Structure 1
Amino acid sequence: MKIALLGYGRMGKEIEKIALQRGHEVVIKYSGEEDYNIKLADVAIDFSIPDVAFTNISNCINNTVPVVSGTTGWLDKYEDIVNLCDEKKGAFIYASNFSLGVNIFFELNKQLAKMMSSLEQYNITMEEIHHTKKLDAPSGTAITLAEGIIENTHKTSWELDKQVSENSIPIKAIRTPEVPGTHTVTYKSEVDSIDIKHTAHNRQGFALGAVVAAEWLANKTGVYTMNDVLNLG
């Protein structure tokens, strides 16, 4: 499979290693300035930056190249991409995190939220820790976790670096050098606390998941999620 890497930073280079190990060919390495012909690729993997992700993804769909994106911070235009994908009969997967472990963590988070939904004595808080080069806060993974809680409890929103409130989930975002990603969800009452936590040890899990998603998406049309790729229901 011929792969276009749209974004050739640390994640792009990690994806390249995994793709080559799995027998694929990387035909485009786009860093943000050079011209490229997306039609050379069978599939594209976008790990760029928020300012250019929408353009990258649109270009792929307009040229009937399936595209997988892990770029966060551009989702105000997500529905535009969905509509374009429907119009052009394209293929698209967005995930805030492609790690297999994180996607299992997402489902665990939803199930715990359902179990805790009637126990109003517990306050819900979240914390995420990432490397200092991460441009957005909170992380897309943290937002996905918060949305999973909101779907299954009385909470209606999340807020960055705020105190506990009745209807919102406070998210604390910490930036520390060389941390791939740690996410913790805490339910705390006066008598005890329940924590669920995912810690990434390196970027390999993210890269492998992105390549697996690209392999799965090839020759398909439609808009999908990692739940479809991993058959998590």
Structure 2
Amino acid sequence: MKIALIGYGKMGKAIEAIAVAKGHEISHIIDADSQHLLEKDNLQSADVAIEFSTPETAFSNILKCFEAGVPVVSGTTGWLEHLPEVTAKCLEKHQAFLYASNFSIGVNIFFELNKKLAELMGPHADYNVQMEEIHHTQKKDAPSGTAITLAEQILAASQAKKSWVNEGTHDADKLGIVSKRIDPAPGTHVVNYTSTIDDITIIHTAHSRQGFASGAVTAAEWLKDKKGVFSMKDVLNL
């Protein structure tokens, strides 16, 4: 499989190593200095694109993949105000798109645990839920996309919480997310329910970028030759 890497930071390099080890070819490496490779005539020779760029460029990058007829897997966060437009454009042009805030198999199972726990805790107003996420200092957005996914799952099930805020809070109707940036942490997410009687805490801690990168390559393998809009729930059959 020929893979176009859009974004060649630490995550892009980790994806490259795993893809090559699995026998795939990196046909394009596209960063700020090689934007010409996103032109249709260049890009369309790829079988699939894996996009880990910046919040400022992700939307444009994805649309260029659609124009070239290349399925695209995106893990860039911080641009999701454009997600409805990307979804509509993908379906209109009969292309393939898969977005995930986190490609780690462990994190996606953690999402399912979080959703189930939120459903169970929803009726119990004596428990207050708060979150914490820890990443390395080079992470550009806060809270993380993974934390936002977790928060939205909690809000969907909670009878008390109406919105999330990126700070600790004592407001009963707000879900506080404390974001910490500490090197070299690749990613920790904590969901904590507290009451006067007891606490319930679930934690996911990543030890490296390998899980994220491996999941992104697995998603690209799965997406090749498909049409439509998908998520890691589809890839993992959750």
Give TM-score, length-normalised by structure 2.
Answer: 0.96
The DSSP-based 3-state class of the residue aligned with 2:112 is helix
The aligned counterpart of 2:100 is: 95
Partner letter of residue 49 of structure 1? T
The equivalent position to 1:173 in structure 2, one of 169, 179, 184, is: 179
The aligned counterpart of 1:198 is: 204
**Deviant stretches of 4+, over 6 Å:** none
Distance across 1 between alignment mates of 2:230 and 2:116: 21
* Pair 1:211 & 2:206 matched: no
Maintained 8 Å contact 1:67/1:92: yes
Maintained 8 Å contact 1:70/1:97: yes
Maintained 8 Å contact 1:123/1:164: no
After superposition, the CA RMSD in angstroms is 0.8
Distance across 1 between alignment mates of 2:43 and 2:146: 28
Residue 33 of structure 1 deviates from its aligned partner by 2.6
In structure 2, stretches of 5+ residues that fail to align are none
The aligned counterpart of 1:12 is: 12
Partner letter of residue 208 of structure 2? N
The aligned counterpart of 1:59 is: 64
The aligned counterpart of 1:182 is: 188
Distance across 2 between alignment mates of 1:78 and 1:156: 22
Distance across 2 between alignment mates of 1:62 and 1:166: 46
Residue 162 of structure 1 deviates from its aligned partner by 3.7
Give TM-score, length-normalised by structure 1.
Answer: 0.98
String of CA shifts for 1:143-165, please: whole Å, max 9, x gaps: 00001111111222110014132
Aligned residues: 232
Maintained 8 Å contact 1:188/1:194: yes
Distance across 1 between alignment mates of 2:170 and 2:31: 40
Match runs of 1:17-36 below 5 Å:
17-34=17-34, 35-36=36-37
The answer to which of 26-35 and 140-149 deviates more is 26-35
Distance across 1 between alignment mates of 2:3 and 2:102: 19
Match runs of 1:68-217 below 5 Å:
68-154=73-159, 155-217=161-223
Maintained 8 Å contact 1:186/1:194: yes
Distance across 1 between alignment mates of 2:228 and 2:174: 33
The answer to which of 74-83 and 161-170 deviates more is 161-170
Maintained 8 Å contact 1:96/1:140: yes
In structure 1, stretches of 5+ residues that fail to align are none
